[in-house]
Structure 1
Amino acid sequence: MQRILVLMDHDGGVDDFLSTLLLMTMDHVDVLGVVVTPADCYIRPAVSATRKILDLVGRHDVPVAESTVRGLNPFPPMFRRDAFCVDNFPILNEREELLTRRVPEAGQAFMASALRAAPEPVTLLVTGPLTTVAAALDIDPGIEGNVREILWMGGALHVRGNVEMAIESGQDGSAEWNVYWDPIAADRIWKTAVPITLCPLDITNLVPITQAFVRRLCRQRRYPLSDLAGTCYALAAHHDYFAWDVLTTSYLGKPEIFTLRAWETEIVTDGPSQGRTRVVPGGRPIQALDRVDLDQFYAYLFSQWSR
């Protein structure tokens, strides 16, 4: 496959850590760094766990940065505390000292400088809100031309959103969490000319993490990456769980198993539909992952994590 430059921005959920793990197995990808946005996590353990994952896979060359942005609608604490659990997994704590570097500058500043210095356009893999990306563009609007595309897990185009816990505060249930955390930032990105490839709930709803899948991963425990992945998924197995961020990331490794569809869209920034990604004629053109070969997707994960 053609080599590509990737800068990752995740927000510390269980599937974000697994997306990091998957990305690091892709031989054709040169990773400029990983930025952690404080959305679906508590930031300190999320940054620590990310560095430990990079240590596990021997990618000490990939720097980790802590974003300092804030969103409008916080994730529930019960989601965010998973970062503490992952950070304390035994497989991630076999070394006394972390080798992966944590950069001293804020994540949004690091993103801006990394894009500015990149020798060619960079793919931004974003599996959390777009707030850090928007902040980086505010720091240096000129870096927009250095972004090849944004591959984003976000939005719900033709299906219900997943912000049930926000309905009691007046949200109508149409939003997806990564948009809802900061719809203003999403709208900011929608106003750029950067190509956007979306992995919305429309497709992730079709890709559950089943008990059979987790059991098969656990049977591969002789492989450290499968061991970590199975443990992470077991942590989340008490409720419906889908391959949100991992599906998004897999598009970089196996684009041929996906079909895409073009849409014209807008981001709703206020009112009861705040955070909704609405399909509207004349809206901002995007591409969305539409269908995936499930058998090939699951087989790809087993193959990449069998090491």
Structure 2
Amino acid sequence: MERTLVLMDHDGGVDDYLAAILLMTMDHVDVLGVVVTPADCYIRPAVSATRKILDLVGRHDVPVAESTVRGLNPFPPTFRRDAFCVDNLPLLNERDEILARRVPEAGQAFMASALRAAPEPVTLLVTGPLTTVAAALDIDPRVEGKIREILWMGGALHVRGNVERSIESGQDGSAEWNVYWDPIAADRIWQTAIPITLCPLDITNLVPITQAFLRRLCRQRRHPLSDLAGTCYALVAHHDYFAWDVLTTSYLGRPEMFTLRAWETEIVIEGPSQGRTRVVPGGRPIQALDQVDLDQLYTYLLAQWAR
């Protein structure tokens, strides 16, 4: 496959770590760095867990940066505390020290400098909100031209959102969390000319982490990455879980498993639908992952994590 420069921006949820593990198994990808955005996590353990994962996969050459941005609508603390659980998993704590380098500059500044220095356009893999990307463009608007595309897990086009309807907040239940955390930043990116490939809830709802898949994964426990993935999924097995960020990342590895569809869209930035990604004629053109071959996907994940 054609080699691809990738800069990852994740927000510290359980599936973000699994997506990072998957990304590091891709031989055709050159990873420029990993930025952690403080959205679906507490930032200190999320950065620590990310660095430990890079050590586990032998990629301590990949720099890690801590974004300092803030969103409008915080994730619930019960979501964010999973970062502590992952950071304390035994498999990630067998070494006395962490080798993966944490850069001293803020994540948004690191993103801008990494894009500026890149020898060719970069794919931004974003599995959290777009706030850090928007901040990097504010720091240096010229780096927009260095972004090949943004591959983003975000939005809900024709299905309900995953932000619950709430009388207190006035939210009508149409928003997806990565948009809702900071719809202003998402709208900022929608105003650019950067190509966007979206992995919305419309397709992730079709890709549950099933008990059958977990049983197959558990049979691979002799492989450290499979062991780590199975343990991470065990942390969230008490509720329905889907391959949100892992599915998004899989598109980088095996795009032929997917079909895409073009839409014209807008981001709703205020009111009861704040954070909704609305399909509207004449809106901002995007590509969205529309269908995936499930058998191929599950087989691909098992093979990559058995490496």
Q: Which of the five TM-score ranges fits, normalised by the shorter chain?
A: over 0.9
**Which whole-Å deviations, capped at 9, do the CAs of 1:267-305 have from their partners, x for residues lacking one?**
000000000000000000000000000000000000000
Q: What's the counterpart of residue 268 of structure 1?
A: 268
Write out aligned runs for 1:92-241 (5 A): 92-164=92-164, 166=166, 168-241=168-241
Q: Does 142-151 or 205-214 show the bigger shift?
A: 205-214
**What CA deviation, in whole Å up to 9, does each residue of 1:32-58 have, x standing for no partner?**
000000000000000000000000000
Alignment of 1:15-164 (within 5 A): 15-164=15-164
**SS at structure 2 position matched to 1:169:** coil
Deviation at 1:215, TM superposition (A): 1.9
| Equivalent pair of 1:52/1:92 in contact (CA under 8 Å) | yes
Q: Is the 1:215–1:230 Cα contact (8 Å) retained in structure 2?
A: no
Q: Counterpart of 1:211 in structure 2: which amino acid?
A: Q
Q: Deviations over 1:186-240 (max 9, x none)?
A: 0000000000000000000000001221122111100000000000001011001
Cα 1:167–1:13, aligned 2, differ >3 Å: closer, same or farther? Answer: farther
Distance 1:144 1:169 in 2: 34
Structure 2 CA distance for partners of 1:167 and 1:156, relative to 1, 3 Å: farther
Q: Is the 8 A contact 2:4 2:122 kept in 1?
A: yes
**1:130-151 deviation digits (Å, cap 9, x = unpaired):** 0000000000000000000000
Q: Is the 8 A contact 2:9 2:124 kept in 1?
A: yes
Q: Cα distance 1:59–1:51, how it changes in 2: closer, same or farther (>3 A)?
A: same
CA distance in 1, matches of 2:55, 2:150: 26
Residues in 1 aligned to 2:298 and 2:52: alpha-carbon distance in whole angstroms:
25
What are the within-5 Å matches in structure 2 for residues 275-294 of structure 1? 275-294=275-294
Shift, 1:248, TM fit: 0.1
Deviation of 1:169 after TM superposition, in Å, equals 1.5
Take 2:287 and 2:35, find their aligned partners in 1: how far apart are those partners?
24
Task: Output the aligned Cα RMSD.
Answer: 0.7
State the alpha-carbon separation in 1 of the partners of residues 167 and 11 from structure 2.
22
Residue 165 of structure 1 and its aligned partner are, at CA, apart by 6.5
Superposition deviation, residue 167 in structure 1? 5.5
Question: CA separation in 1, counterparts of 2:83 and 2:146?
Answer: 31
Q: Would you say the 8 A contact 2:165–2:171 is kept in 1?
A: no
Cα distance, 1:168 vs structure 2: 3.9
Alpha carbons of structure 1 residues 86 and 166: separation in structure 2 relative to 1, 3 Å = farther
Q: Do residues 250 (structure 1) and 250 (structure 2) align?
A: yes
SS of residue matched to 1:8: strand
Looking at structure 2, the residues matched to 168 and 219 of structure 1 have their Cα atoms a distance apart, in angstroms, of 45
- Scaled by the length of structure 2, the TM-score of the pair is 0.99
Report the CA distance shift for 1:138/1:228 in structure 2 as closer, same or farther (over 3 A): same
Can you give the 5+ residue segments of structure 2 that lack an aligned partner in the other structure? none
Whole-angstrom distance in 2 between the partners of 1:193 and 1:287: 13
How does the TM-score come out when normalised to structure 1?
0.99
The verdict on how the C-alpha distance between 1:166 and 1:229 changes in structure 2, with shifts beyond 3 A counting, is farther
**What is the letter of the counterpart of residue 155 of structure 1?**
G
Distance 1:303 1:181 in 2: 34
- The alpha carbon displacement at 1:243 in A equals 0.2
Runs of 4+ in 1 over 6 A off after TM superposition: none
Shift in Å, 1:5: 0.1
**Distance of 1:26 and 1:265 partners within structure 2:** 31
Deviation at 1:166, TM superposition (A): 4.8
3-state DSSP of counterpart to 1:262: strand
